[in-house]
Amino acid sequence: MDGSRILFLTGAAPYPLTTGAKIRTFNLLKALAGEFEIHLLTVLNSEEEKEYIPIWEQAGLTCHCLSSDRLNNPIGKRLDALSSFLLAEPYLTRHYTFRAYRRQIDQLMRETPFDVIHCDSISLTGNLDGLEKNRLVLTQHNIEQIIWAGYVEHAGRSLTRVFYQNQYRKVKRLEENLAETYGYVVTVSEEDRRRLATTFPSDRIVVAENGVDPQAYEADIPPEMRRGVVFTGSLDWHPNVDGLLYFADDIYRHMRQILPGCPIAIAGRRPSPALRNRLADIPESILHADVPRIQPFLHGARVMMVPLRIAGGSRLKILEAMASGLPVVATSKGAEGLAVQDGENIIIRDNPEQFALAIGELCRNDDLWRGISRRGRELVRERYAWNKVARPQAELWRTIANG
């Protein structure tokens, strides 16, 4: 351990691993805890989350927790959404800005001389006024304005679209002015680094890619023992919801002709009633909500589908599938940010019929399946293990600490 002290800020407890952001955050911190003294400041949104504090501590983190139901309060969410529509601050930051969080930051900084303050989400930006910029790092899990632009594009003509347009403009302005608050930014892909470099100093942007623990997902299950298609992910995250609606509206009718009766497993947390109702129209689909482990679905399926239409960041679900030996069919936006090659370790199709045909080919052609499976596994082992992808973040922390 080099002795550098890191204050790491999150707005949601990083365990249990229920979202891609939490999976990334927890595993990167675990990989770096042997090199740095990491203090985690987070918000507990329920009593149940206290049960996981020993897991964070076993990972080598010193934990400081605020207990608050503010972030999950439905009335508070609506009020913040309304005020963010009328005022200059976007909902993204307004909902996560509160005095108790800033007081805790100030108290911790009085008690400990931190070398780096690392903010794990742009949503916490409103809590950082007046802090020393050159010690402040932001992780951009996604370029948020791209996601909000996707919301606008696929919202149709409605009041919801008006709200999305309003928020898109404010989020875009927020991201264009990150240099006013942060000295450095970590992105998860080279594509996101290039996007951000149009408004943020490029020499202060570091790419630390998403990763996976290959051993946690590895299983040697041959294609003839696998069946069906699987989609995994947070089902309350709009890019995932939009991707599933795209599948239901445009891809499924082709797949039904190519693979009649093929089971379709959808596994993820917090599916909305609207999504449940839409998937209910697909008789082959089974929705598995809030599952404790995703591995059984990856090990039982023949193909992973990632039909996303909204880009930004990179997809942990693809790395998890590859580590499981599960071939992936994705759109180009779904596969963005990863060092994948169409036909080599993944199949990329943007046309709905071609997407369905690719799934059918993997379900019928064992040789193709084995080749994609093997090369996908090789890719994640060679490039995407957490101890490898953590190195750029470690070097950035050392650079800042050494002044």
Return the pLDDT at 301: 98
Return phi, psi of residue 70, to 5°. Answer: -60, -45
For residue range 94-152, list pLDDT tens digits in order.
988 989 999 999 999 999 999 999 999 999 999 999 999 999 999 999 999 998 998 88
Cβ atoms within 10 A of the Cβ of 52, count?
Answer: 17
CA-to-CA distance for 287 and 271, rounded, in angstroms? 9
Give CATH 3.40.50.2000 domain extents, the chain: 5-211+386-401, 214-383
pLDDT at 118: 99
Residue 396 in contact with residue 34, Cβ under 8 Å? Answer: no
Q: Classify domain 214-383 at the CATH class level.
A: alpha beta
Q: Cα–Cα distance between 243 and 248 in angstroms, integer? A: 9
- Cα angle: 390, vertex 185, 68; to 5 degrees: 85
Which of left, alpha, beta for 342 (phi over 0: left; psi -120 to 50: alpha)?
Answer: beta
Give the pLDDT confidence score for residue 1 in this predicted structure: 67
Q: What distance in Å separates the CA atoms of residue 217 and residue 322, rounded to the nearest whole number?
A: 9
Task: Identify the burial level of 396 via C-beta atoms within 10 angstroms of its C-beta, where 0-12 means exposed, 13-18 middle and 19 or more buried.
Answer: buried
Asked whether residue 212 carries a pLDDT value surpassing 90, the answer given is yes
Per-residue model confidence (pLDDT) at position 159: 86
Q: Is the pLDDT of residue 273 over 70?
A: yes
Contacts of 104 (CB under 8 A, 6+ apart): 41, 64, 66
- In the predicted structure, residue 158 carries a pLDDT above the cut 90: no
DSSP state of 178: G
Local structure of residue 152 (DSSP, 8 states): H
User: 16: cis peptide before it, omega within 30°?
Assistant: yes
Could you confirm whether domain 5-211+386-401 is CATH 3.30.1330.10? no
Nearest alpha-carbon partner for 94 in 117, 112, 77: 77
Of residues 393 and 67, the one with the higher pLDDT is 393
Rounded Cα gap, residues 33 and 256, in angstroms? 48
278-298 burial code (b ≥16 CB/10 A, e <16): bbeebebbebeeeeeebeebb
What is the torsion angle, in degrees rounded to the nearest 10, for the CA atoms of residue 185, residue 186, residue 190 and residue 192? Answer: -60
d(CA 137, CA 214): 28
